[in-house]
Chain A
Amino acid sequence: MIIKFFANLREITKDHEITLKLENVKVKDALLVLEKKYGRDFRDVVFDPEGELYVRILINGRNIEYLEGLDTQVTGDDTVSLFPPVAGGSHAEL
């Protein structure tokens, strides 16, 4: 599967895009593989201090929020894109 990193995430990964030889795993398993590769800093930007997902993860362009979240299955043909919060808002209430 193809993993793409955007914006400030690239400062940690140094990669824009990598291919992982993984078949039918859950998103959270793929994240563990990435954490091993890129270390603690990577984990710290992917999750906030409370352990909540901080980045947006898209699988083939669809946000995992509207799939099965971190339990969403990913196959070898999928493209997984990781974005830090890039625009759009904080936790302020409208």
Chain B
Amino acid sequence: MKGYMGTVLRIDLDRQNAEKQKLDEQLARNFLGGRGLGAKILYDELKSGTDPLSPENILVFAIGPLTGTRTPSSGRHVVVSKSPLTGGIAFTSSGGTWGAELKRAGYDAIVVKGKAKKPLYLWIEDDEVGFRDAKEHWGKMISQSDEGIKSETDDEAKVLQIGIAGERMSRIAAIINEKYRAAGRCGLGAVMGAKNLKAIAVKGSRNPEAADSIGLTRAASRAMKMISESGVTKEDGGLNSFGTAVLTNIINASGIYPTRNFQTGTFSGAEKISGEAMAKTILKEKTACYECPMECGRWVKVEKGKYAGTEGESLEYETSWAFGGECGVNNLEALARANFLCNEYGLDTISTGSSIGFTMELLERGILSKEKVGIDLRFGNDDAMIQMIEKIAKREGFGDVLADGTKAASKKIGKGSEYYAMQVKGLELPAYDPRGAVGLGLNFATANRGACHVSGYTIAAEILGAPLKADPFDSGESKVDLTILFQNFTAAVDSGVNCLFLTFAVGASEYAEMISSLVGWEGYDADEFLRTGERIFAIERLFNKREGFGRKDDTLPQRFLKEPMPEGAPKGRVHPLAEMLDIYYRKRGYTEEGHPGKEKLNELGLMD
């Protein structure tokens, strides 16, 4: 089996032991790698009911066959575990080059179990695996510990790590690699913190081999050509010129830019914090992950004013929204500062911004008082927002309440605050109001890790009109089909593993061609690729079922089901979830409880 390195590294932190295990070919064909491989390992090996922050939880760092190859945008890795934020399956991916480096070191995945007695980090250099004391790095800002770990290992090592938020087991803590890239969602930084695992530094010297090298070159070139021809992904196209924050204006114009904790979908300050505004002000240069011609990353620098000195890779669309529209802040420099702090402390930007926006609404409604919160956390008060980020990271004052996300916070606060916690299954919503994009709303409700846009990004069809077109308000059968198709496709892409943005230019048949020429599997085609995605989605469901998840959890915050959108194109609309959910389960071959049915499990080869 080419393309893969053929080895899974098993780490036992209790005994500081590392073992190499052969990767089974049938397992690889069924689950590919990344998200799929991680879900399968969790499903097979984690006892249900395990506390996500206990030593027994399993943490999988996985890449896929395409990672680290010459196929485009292939530097990503995926982290899979049981989420301390949702209690269900968590998968979260990040760009950069760490994933590609892991492949060069000779591994397809690292599976971590147990808990170290004292903080340590792993240093992996090809076959050598070392357990190193992390005392010097514990409690440091990410940029410092990145440098520190490199100086102890190798200047060229790629470092993935947690910050202070993860050390303090914040359930919204991220895992950061190469200082600026985050596997942010679902709080897996806290799982590393609970295991006393500060970081994993990697350096490798090998290259994956391809079964059909000429075929792979042809397939990769074809994908590159499609990127260069698409208006979205080409050089000087929308994504490259303005970064992902190019979305700000179109989402706002469509009336679904969540504003002040989803009270409305139109933000008067959107233009000021858009990708267009950034390009004219704080943008210094474009940045890219491994082998990616799209260069959607932004290097920003604030040169004057109270946030002067803020510099780094920053302000992806979701992040600029989380501290912008969500918190009612229209100061781009403040958003850059907020992003910088989240990177330095290792916090998920979406959940952090959402937790702050939630608190702002509770203050506005008098459910919380300024005295209780400790600072004047009004909508639009960027100073207070910045202060609160530090408090969350350090679990100081009211920050301690928010450090576990909105669901846990609302339980502590009570007084009806649950209504204003904009989360599904515990995961905070990203930057789209489901009332005006109902396919995405169905995806938010049904996605296995909670309210996740990248589990089924139907916005592509519903708002952006490509590669398919779909009326954002239509809630009929074809919309349900669309959501399912996007969910399956994405599950396979996340297991491949390439950047999801590659799907802006490239479809399932191109993926299948890249995989078959790389790995050498007979008859591997687009259908098998999509079927693999369906299987992965289903095994995640089975994992969640065992943890007690079902229909009751496939829902949306009540606000979207009860409060009509007050303005904009979706004015007067609520989300028609109830009518869509039955159709969704039926079409997926799931039971009324939302669990994969026997027939479906048979069909997907998941009966055991």
Which residues of chain A are near B466, meaning CB under 8 Å? 85, 88-91
Which residues of chain B are near A94, meaning CB under 8 Å? 467-468, 485-486, 489, 507-508
Write the nearest CB–CB distance from B513 to chain A, whole angstroms.
12
Q: How many A residues, CB 8 Å from partner? A: 28
Write the nearest CB–CB distance from B438 to chain A, whole angstroms.
13
> For window 182-199 of chain B, which residues contact chain A by CB distance below 8 Å?
none
Which residues of chain B are near A92, meaning CB under 8 Å? 226, 467, 505-507, 510
Which residues of chain B are near A63, meaning CB under 8 Å? 254, 463, 465, 472
Interface centre among A6, A8, A60, A61 (most CB of B within 10 A): A61
* Residue B580 at the chain A interface, CB threshold 8 Å: no
- Per DSSP, chain A at the interface is loop
Closest to B246 in A: A86
> For window 484-522 of chain B, which residues contact chain A by CB distance below 8 Å?
485-486, 489, 503-510
* Residue A43 at the chain B interface, CB threshold 8 Å: no
Contact with A along B561-593 (1 / 0, CB 8 A): 000000011100000000000000000000000
Closest to B229 in A: A90
Which residues of chain A are near B226, meaning CB under 8 Å? 90, 92
Contact with A along B271-309 (1 / 0, CB 8 A): 100011000000000000000000000000000000000
B238 touches A91 (CB 8 A): no
Contact of B467 among A58, A83, A93 (CB under 8 A): A93
Write the nearest CB–CB distance from A7 to chain B, whole angstroms.
5
A6 vs B276: C-alpha distance in the bound complex, in angstroms?
8
Write the nearest CB–CB distance from B238 to chain A, whole angstroms.
4
B254 touches A8 (CB 8 A): no
A87 vs B231: C-alpha distance in the bound complex, in angstroms?
8
A87 touches B239 (CB 8 A): yes
A13 vs B57: C-alpha distance in the bound complex, in angstroms?
56
Contact of A90 among B244, B504, B570 (CB under 8 A): B504
* Residue B249 at the chain A interface, CB threshold 8 Å: yes
A83 vs B463: C-alpha distance in the bound complex, in angstroms?
11
> For window 26-41 of chain A, which residues contact chain B by CB distance below 8 Å?
none
Known contacts A90-B226, A92-B467, A85 near B507 by CB under 8 Å: no
* Residue B242 at the chain A interface, CB threshold 8 Å: yes
Contact of A87 among B232, B255, B271, B508 (CB under 8 A): B232
A91 vs B469: C-alpha distance in the bound complex, in angstroms?
11
A86 vs B237: C-alpha distance in the bound complex, in angstroms?
7
> For window 63-94 of chain A, which residues contact chain B by CB distance below 8 Å?
63, 65-66, 81, 83-94
Supply 24 A–B pairs (Cβ within 8 Å), ascending by A.
A6-B276, A7-B275, A10-B276, A56-B250, A58-B253, A58-B254, A61-B568, A61-B569, A63-B254, A63-B463, A63-B465, A81-B250, A83-B250, A85-B237, A85-B238, A86-B238, A87-B460, A87-B464, A87-B504, A88-B464, A90-B226, A90-B231, A93-B467, A94-B507
New A-B contacts (4) at CB < 8 Å, excluding given A60-B569, A88-B459:
A60-B568, A83-B249, A85-B232, A86-B246
